[in-house]
Amino acid sequence: MNNYERYYKGSYPTMKTILRMLTMALPIIAIAGFSQTGDTSALRPPKGSNVAIVVFEDLECPTCAYVEPILQNAIRNYKIPLVRYDFPIPSHSWSFEAHVQARYFDTQSKQLGEDFRRWIFANQNRITKRNLHGMMEQFAKERHITVPTIIDPSGELAGKVKADFAIGQKVGISYTPAAYVVSNSRQTSYIEVKDLSQLFSVIDKIDAELTAQALAPSSKPAKGTSGKSTRKSALQ
């Protein structure tokens, strides 16, 4: 039995409804970004980006479906990347297979994989373990794509899903969605956003930090200065 197997045992509502549900159901916001006790090396923006959203998600998770429009709105408005990690909860009957299917569409094109994930979230309440493959075929047919009967003959795609799940375990993820704003800020490298109605505020906070750091005088010593002066400057 692997680590994945040991772990755990409709349509979109309006944005107003989503925010009301999140505000009622979740705590305000986890600003103590450095309180995470696990391995946080995954909580970094991708190369070339100063800020990103990282989310550990389960395609069968209703709350993940509810927050998807908020995440899309954020990346569209701030023009920042969304980094997804597969975290299918084993007690969910069709989630793992759906994540493998999403990985298959990733191999066709990254955008197609993204489209499939959003389509699954939008149609989540119509999906069962029995009809999941047919739903995948429907998605493909709508886009004039032919999919093979067996999409992962070697198990490579399933392995990638399990690898993401293992990363989530190292971070300390115990629920979905687990969303973070991550950055190259020297002050706050990541913040977990438990109340996604506050997502824009968190991104604004990180952006303000990065702007202030960019405008601050460099703490690097001039050529020929002593190490003692360098340390003093860094502490000021």
pLDDT tens-digit profile of 44-64? 999 999 999 999 999 999 999
pTM of the model: 0.79
User: For the chain, which residues make up each domain, given as ranges?
Assistant: 3-235
Choose among 159, 26, 181, 180: nearest CA to 86: 159
C-alpha separations of 191 from 7, 22, 46, 82 in Å:
25, 17, 16, 15
CATH class for the region spanning 3-235: alpha beta
Sign of CA dihedral 202, 204, 207, 212: negative
| Digit-coded pLDDT (tens) for 148-193 | 999 999 999 999 999 999 999 999 999 999 999 999 999 999 999 9
Beta partners for residue 180, in sequence order: 54, 192
pLDDT in tens, the chain (236 residues): 555 544 444 444 444 544 454 444 443 333 334 445 589 999 999 999 999 999 999 999 999 999 999 999 999 999 999 999 999 999 999 999 999 999 999 999 999 999 999 999 999 999 999 999 999 999 999 999 999 999 999 999 999 999 999 999 999 999 999 999 999 999 999 999 999 999 999 999 999 999 999 998 765 554 544 444 333 333 33
Q: What is the pLDDT of residue 2?
A: 53
198-204: Cβ within 8 A, 24+ apart: 198/28, 198/29, 199/53, 199/70, 199/71, 199/74, 200/74, 200/77, 202/29, 203/51, 203/74, 203/78, 203/80
